[in-house]
Amino acid sequence: MAPLGERFSIRRRYIDHKENTVEPFKKYYILAEGEKSEIAYFHALKNSLHFNIRSEIEVIVLERTENDVHNSNPKKLYNQMLRLNRNAEDEYVIVFDSDIYKTTLGYHKILEDMKNQNIRPIVTSPCIELWYILHVKDSLNDHVLPSKEEIFANEKISSKHRFTSKMCQNLCGFNPKNTFKIELIKNIKHAVKQAESLESDMLKLNTTIGTNIHLLIVELLEDNRFT
């Protein structure tokens, strides 16, 4: 079985000239459940001037290859991540949706497994489409909160969509099963702000809508030169 490949990396943008203000250089390895919109999303982050990655880190988005393709179950992603030659100083991140888990026991088990291997779970409930929706101005109060129960249930409403993917297409202007609309990246800080009003506790993200992806984004954006 071929190893995971590196889709792209976001490298240092500058050299810091202030001593003792920057952490040691570290890498963030990110493996996502989806193979299309999530990859497109991170491409958009890479190429956008609105995303000023911290200077002392490198973000590497991992690509599934050969037998790993279509293995999107979080347990499969976990096993794939374990095959990497990992360093203690780096971060290993798995991005997945909570709606794949029908029981709290199974959901908490994968969180515990990742914790024990120093793998960081980044979870959206019920699915990544909610995070995309939060990039739209005022979507939290106008659309998300009024439809909180329907979003969490995320019932199938057509042959192509569940409730949340249809809302995403209507509000964001793209089919989240296939791609991501890169123009929305300029609203990333707005998405972070709106996400702060939702649940972010991983242990609760199988019981209500929410996400902790904004916590990762804030961490990547933080610039220690100005702290």
Count CA within 13 A, CB hemisphere, residue 130.
33
Cα–Cα distance for residue pair 84/80, rounded to 1 Å:
7
CA separation, residue 157 to residues 24, 154, 162 (Å): 49, 9, 5
Q: Average pLDDT for residues 35-58, to the nearest whole number?
A: 71
Q: What is the pLDDT of residues 148-167, one digit of tens each?
A: 999 999 999 999 999 999 99
Residue 213 lies in a domain: yes
Pick from 44, 211, 56, 191: which is nearest to 121 by CA? 211
Q: Which residue has the higher pLDDT, 20 or 13?
A: 20
Task: Enter the pTM of the model.
Answer: 0.85
Residue 27 lies in a domain: yes
Q: Which of 62-71, 95-104, 108-117, 179-188 has the lowest mean pLDDT?
A: 62-71
Q: What is the pLDDT of residues 124-135, one digit of tens each?
A: 999 999 999 999
Residue 136 lies in a domain: no
- Tokens 């949706």 — which residue? 97
Residue 149 lies in a domain: no
Residue type at position 103: T
Residue 151 lies in a domain: no
Cα–Cα distance for residue pair 84/4, rounded to 1 Å:
8
Domain residues for the domain of 119 are 5-11+21-128+180-226
Query: Is the dihedral angle over the CA atoms 106, 92, 178, 71 positive or is it negative?
Result: negative
Residue 139 lies in a domain: no
Joined tokens for residue 75: 């347990």
Taking 50 as the threshold, does the pLDDT of residue 178 lie above it? yes
Instruction: Give the highest mean pLDDT range of 27-36, 69-78, 199-208.
Output: 199-208
Residue 109 lies in a domain: yes
Residue 57 lies in a domain: yes
Query: Percent of the chain scored above 70 by pLDDT?
Result: 78
Joined tokens for residue 112: 């515990």
Number of domains, the chain? 1
CA separation, residue 41 to residues 83, 132, 144, 207 (Å): 25, 9, 21, 26
Q: Average pLDDT for residues 185-206, to the nearest whole number?
A: 96
Banded pLDDT at 122 (limits 50, 70, 90): very high
